[in-house]
Amino acid sequence: MENIFDKETILVNQKFTIVNNEYQILDEGGSEIGFVKEQSSALETILKLFMSQKMLPWKMNILDSQKNVLVTISKGLTFFLSKISVTNSAGTEIATIKQKFALKPKFEVCDTTGAVVASVEGNFVAWDFKVTDAQGNQIGSINKQFGGLAKEIFTDSDKYVVKISKSLSDPNLRSAVISAACIIDKVLKERN
């Protein structure tokens, strides 16, 4: 079985859905190697129709091709800047991703002790993000691909190319970088 988090390049392709987000995870050749599925209760689904989705709590699972949960990404109720928890399949928190107040979109990835181990910083239009380690070395990138004018205007479906450096060996940080692509889409791109 292929491990999603061992790949150097993957595509995270949002599928068009009415309420809950779903994403395909594809390898460089376009083969599906996993997917991401948002979970929500009936109450949360109803609230999405009346409240800003950026404020509401959410939970998404990254699953392999056999539907085994690899990582869970979750956010609580937010009024200004999001704080997202990344947990492994055993339910143990492996990272926290915090949205930062900055001129350009920025997130900090923290380890279990709260130390900043990486930053994810985007350009002004939030399409291209550079992932750097605590020393400022680039360890990856997340880039939104243009889906065509009609798709960009009429849907929220986005596609991201996630590249992770071979030198990044920490499996928790690799998981957090891939999770960041979904977080960018959910926190910055979702329409109300």
> For the chain, what are the domain ranges?
4-189
Which residues are 164's β-sheet partners? 140
Confidence class for position 126, pLDDT limits 50, 70, 90: confident
Pairwise CA distance, residues 182 & 159, whole Å: 10
Helix (H, G, I), strand (E, B) or coil at 65: coil
Please state, rounded to an integer, the average pLDDT across all residues of the chain: 85
Asked if the 4-189 domain carries CATH number 1.20.120.450, the reply is no
Confidence class for position 149, pLDDT limits 50, 70, 90: very low
159 DSSP 8-state letter: E
Residue 154, pLDDT score? 41
Task: Give the list of residues 6+ apart from residue 3 with CB closer than 8 angstroms, or none.
Answer: 64
Confidence class for position 135, pLDDT limits 50, 70, 90: very high
Extended strands (E) in 16-136: 22-26, 32-39, 58-64, 69-75, 83-88, 93-100, 106-110, 116-122, 128-133
Q: How many other C-beta atoms are found inside a 10 Å radius of the C-beta of residue 34?
A: 25
> pTM of the prediction?
0.83
Residue 155, pLDDT score? 44
